[in-house]
Amino acid sequence: MKISKALLKTKAKATGIHFCLSLVVFFALAYQIFYVWYPPPYFVIDGGWQGIRIVAAIDLVLGPFITFLIFDLSKSRREITLDLLIIATVQIGALIYGVVTTYEQRPVAIVVVDDFAISAVENDYKSQLNSLDELKRYSPQNFPVIFMNIPLTPEGIKEMMRIRAEEDIAEHAQLQLYQPHSMLAPGLLKSQPAQLKRLQEPVAKQDYQQWLVQNQKKAEDVLVLPFIGRYGESWLVFAKNGKFLGHF
């Protein structure tokens, strides 16, 4: 079916208006995702970028595209109203799904496991927590960094494996292994010889030196730890007391 220039112009105008409105929603969600749910460095390497692409595809592409396909001012008012309801229902439903998925996969804690760190999402904890605020007892920081103690005794290892098998709780989310925040700095300090050896790799060494210069720090003033994200890796930097300072 051939589309007249007048109809094409009307569709383009409606699509443009829809896109501008969607852009406002997208910027609001993008701020939430980038600064609150996935603060740097986790946005790029631990799921934030994937989440924002889902939201953009739904909010900036799907909704305006449907508007372009079905909007037509030659239809009756009843038909136009029905079309707008269809567009809103499809876009809002898909957007809710995308936002909820992104929210559920956000890291809620960074867990130090031996000589590296990984993230934990809310669902990892199953029924162990009534509220995420309970994680604050292990870390006073706004974005919790928690030191985990891997058991070395046969009994401890057996219990850890039992919880994984029977309760489906991965080792990094088992609360009985979490240590007080006072143990974070000593744990990081213990792993420093191995970490500094890893930092001899040219690219990592250059990034480390650049971070020190930019933040006016000396190597002896900080502790470093590799973070293994779901989509990449980074280095986390801490003060000698365990306070998170930044990343490179």
Q: What number of other Cβ atoms are within 10 A of residue 1's Cβ?
A: 2
- Please give the Cα distance from 180 to 138 (Å, whole number): 5
- Chain length of the chain: 248
Q: Percent of the chain at pLDDT above 70?
A: 99
pTM of the model: 0.86
Q: Percent of the chain at pLDDT above 90?
A: 85
The predicted-structure confidence for 29-79, as pLDDT tens digits, reads as follows 999 999 999 999 999 999 999 999 999 999 999 999 999 988 888 889 899
State the average pLDDT for the chain. Answer: 93
The predicted-structure confidence for 149-179, as pLDDT tens digits, reads as follows 999 899 999 999 999 999 999 999 999 999 9
pLDDT at 7: 83
The predicted-structure confidence for 91-111, as pLDDT tens digits, reads as follows 999 999 999 999 999 999 999
| Helix, strand or coil, per DSSP, at residue 209 | helix
Distances from the Cα of 101 to the Cαs of 23, 135, 155, 227, 231, in angstroms? 20, 22, 37, 23, 16
- The residue with tokens 């109203």 is 81
Average pLDDT over residues 216-232: 96
β-pairing, 107-113 vs 145-148, is: parallel
pLDDT at 2: 62
What values do phi and psi take at 129, rounded to 5?
-115, 135
Q: How confident is the model at residue 203 (pLDDT cuts 50, 70, 90)?
A: very high
Q: How confident is the model at residue 114 (pLDDT cuts 50, 70, 90)?
A: confident
pLDDT at 1: 53
The identity of residue 44, as a single letter, is V
Q: How confident is the model at residue 4 (pLDDT cuts 50, 70, 90)?
A: confident
β-pairing, 222-228 vs 233-239, is: antiparallel
Contact criterion met (CB below 8 Å) for 177 and 123: no
- Please give the Cα distance from 68 to 45 (Å, whole number): 35
